């Protein structure tokens, strides 16, 4: 990569990662308000059923992600990364604002939860194309020996989007009464999308296409593309690794505020503030792990992360339940943040490097979105269901650790690509 390309890369990285932050704020803020959403849209049920219903609607957004991954990913490979990223920003902002405007069950009855699910489908379709599109864009712009670090910024801004959502929800729960939050306060984080969406769209409309994509388009008629079978094999590796990655992310970040309120003695506000602190640690450590993966390779860090998730979740959840309180929860969430960083630092570059540029957006999107749809999106629902049916608050850790065992074998099958030229 020439000096000119490096300088231009720096100019386009900021709009890409800031747009990614805004996109994931929109998608994740729902999880932080799940308990209130359950009361407003599923009021004719007990507390557990309300929560299950709200998390089921959260999970529905993930079911359509593979469709968004295939369609938007294909657009990214055919029309360019810029086109696909602009489309995802528009769809996510529209879906988020729509949730903030929805009438509740009390106003329109059964139509309310139906509309809620439809808006989550729009968000999920957008998210299906966003992650891989942003990852491909950033990794393709990155200097050859720094793809791990620059790729990690994508995942770091996902966490920053979650942090932004968590801080907004924590602030509102701190300054508004429970009645005000239930009545109208829950709408405010979603309506913020009306401001954030246009900002993200403006930034992405001015993106420059990646050098790797432009080069791939020049030789697309003469280059030998992988067969469909080979592409499916590549995508299956992404799927296998994403199972653990997504379960860890959504149980330990989106679900944790709900868990700590019910089983670790925290108030709604404190659960969100402690979650926010864990996200700050995650944002700071992910780039460090990405940098280390450029020096040491992707696989050592990924395997270390898998082993941590096999060994530590049961112990950490047991500590929260046995010694509930804000200090305990903060310490546990910091440890979890360090564990997730071992996956999220090298992860974006590792999965992007599996694919050649000509098919990267489509097939990386597909493998990643399927892993999230089948396992990650319903992780909060499954965690709630496991606790309800076993009576043990520790039971979600079985799901988490089992996925880590499978992920070890998947990562071992990865080819080490940290020092290789991007195909």
Q: What 3-state class would DSSP assign to 353?
A: coil
Name every residue whose Cβ is closer than 8 Å to that of residue 104 and which is 6 or more positions away in sequence.
Answer: 40, 41, 112
Confidence check: pLDDT of 108 > 50 = yes
pLDDT at 222 (0 to 100): 64
Structure-block tokens of residue 403: 């996925």
- Which contiguous run of DSSP H or E holds residue 197? helix 193-205
Summarize pLDDT for 360-382 with one digit per residue, the tens: 888 888 898 888 887 877 788 88
CA distance 180 to 186: 8
Higher pLDDT, 103 or 44: 103
Structure-block tokens of residue 291: 């940098």
CA distance 91 to 98: 11
pLDDT at 390 (0 to 100): 92
CA distance 195 to 122: 18
**Banded model confidence at residue 126, pLDDT cuts 50, 70, 90:** confident
Can you tell me the mean pLDDT for 397-412? 94
pLDDT at 4 (0 to 100): 47
pLDDT at 321 (0 to 100): 93
DSSP code string of 13-38: HHHHHHHHHHHHHHHHHHHHTHHHHH
**By mean pLDDT, which of 190-194, 334-338, 345-349 is the weakest?**
190-194
CA distance 249 to 237: 18
Average pLDDT, the chain: 86
Structure-block tokens of residue 48: 């557990």
In angstroms, what CA-CA distances link 300 with 101, 364, 404?
47, 22, 15
Residue of 155, 180, 185 lying closest to 32 (CA atoms)? 185
Structure-block tokens of residue 79: 């029309």
CA dihedral 228, 230, 231, 233 (to 10 degrees): 120
CA distance 159 to 167: 12
Confidence check: pLDDT of 394 > 70 = yes
pLDDT at 30 (0 to 100): 81
Name every residue whose Cβ is closer than 8 Å to that of residue 7 and which is 6 or more positions away in sequence.
Answer: none
- High-pLDDT (> 90) share of the chain, %: 37
pLDDT at 89 (0 to 100): 83
Structure-block tokens of residue 95: 């879906």
* 8 A C-beta contact, residue 22 and residue 197: yes
CA distance 69 to 72: 6
Summarize pLDDT for 276-286 with one digit per residue, the tens: 888 899 999 99
Can you tell me the mean pLDDT for 399-423? 92
**By mean pLDDT, which of 65-74, 97-106, 235-244, 252-261 is the weakest?**
252-261
Angle made by CA atoms 5, 17, 423, in degrees to the nearest 5 = 50
pLDDT at 27 (0 to 100): 67
First-residue to last-residue Cα distance in the chain: 13
Summarize pLDDT for 61-94 with one digit per residue, the tens: 778 888 888 899 889 888 888 888 888 888 888 8
CA atoms within 13 A on the CB side of 222: 3
- Which contiguous run of DSSP H or E holds residue 177? none
- Domains assigned to the chain: 3-412 (1.20.1250.20)
**Banded model confidence at residue 95, pLDDT cuts 50, 70, 90:** confident
Alpha helices in 142-192 (DSSP H): 147-175, 178-183, 188-191
Confidence check: pLDDT of 237 > 60 = yes
pLDDT at 192 (0 to 100): 83
* 8 A C-beta contact, residue 362 and residue 225: no
Residue of 412, 264, 410 lying closest to 328 (CA atoms)? 264
Q: In a 10 Å sphere around its CB, with 0-12 CB exposed, 13-18 middle and 19+ buried, how is residue 66 labelled? A: buried
Summarize pLDDT for 8-27 with one digit per residue, the tens: 555 667 777 776 777 678 76
């Amino acid at each position: 990569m020439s000096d000119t390309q490096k300088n231009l890369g720096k100019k386009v990285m900021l709009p890409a990662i800031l747009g990614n932050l805004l996109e994931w704020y929109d998608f994740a803020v729902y999880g932080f308000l799940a308990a209130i959403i359950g009361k407003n849209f599923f009021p004719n049920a007990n507390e557990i059923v309300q929560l299950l219903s709200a998390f089921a609607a959260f999970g529905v957004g993930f079911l359509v992600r593979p469709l968004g991954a295939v369609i938007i990913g294909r657009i990214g490979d055919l029309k360019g990364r810029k086109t696909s990223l602009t489309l995802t920003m528009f769809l996510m902002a529209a879906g988020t604002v729509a949730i903030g405007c929805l009438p509740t069950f009390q106003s329109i009855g059964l139509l309310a939860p139906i509309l809620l699910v439809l808006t989550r489908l729009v968000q999920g379709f957008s998210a299906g194309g966003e992650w891989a599109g942003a990852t491909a864009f950033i990794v393709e712009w990155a200097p050859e020996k720094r793809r791990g670090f620059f790729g990690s910024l994508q995942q770091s801004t996902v966490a920053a989007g979650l942090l932004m959502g968590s801080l907004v929800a924590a602030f509102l729960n701190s300054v508004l009464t429970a009645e005000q939050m239930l009545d109208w306060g829950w709408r405010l984080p979603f309506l913020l999308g009306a401001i954030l969406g246009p900002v993200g769209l403006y930034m992405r409309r001015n993106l420059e296409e990646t050098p790797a994509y432009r080069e791939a388009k020049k030789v697309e008629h003469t280059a030998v593309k992988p067969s469909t079978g080979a592409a499916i094999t590549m995508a299956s590796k992404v799927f296998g690794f994403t199972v653990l990655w997504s379960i860890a992310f959504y149980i330990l970040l989106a679900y944790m505020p709900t868990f700590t309120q019910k089983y670790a003695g925290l108030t709604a506000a404190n659960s969100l503030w402690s979650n926010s602190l864990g996200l700050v640690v995650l944002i700071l450590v992910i780039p460090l792990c990405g940098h280390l993966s450029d020096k040491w390779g992707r696989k050592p860090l990924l395997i270390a992360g898998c082993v941590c998730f096999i060994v530590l979740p049961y112990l950490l959840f047991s500590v929260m339940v046995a010694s509930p309180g804000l200090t305990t929860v903060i310490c546990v969430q910091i440890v979890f943040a360090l564990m997730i960083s071992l996956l999220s630092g090298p992860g974006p570059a590792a999965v992007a490097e599996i694919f050649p540029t000509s098919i990267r957006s489509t097939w990386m999107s597909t493998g990643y979105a399927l892993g999230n749809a089948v396992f990650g999106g319903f992780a909060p629902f499954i965690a709630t269901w496991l606790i309800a049916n076993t009576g043990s608050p520790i039971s979600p850790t079985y799901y988490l650790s089992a996925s880590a065992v499978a992920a070890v074998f998947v990562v071992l099958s990865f080819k080490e690509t940290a020092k290789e030229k991007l195909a």
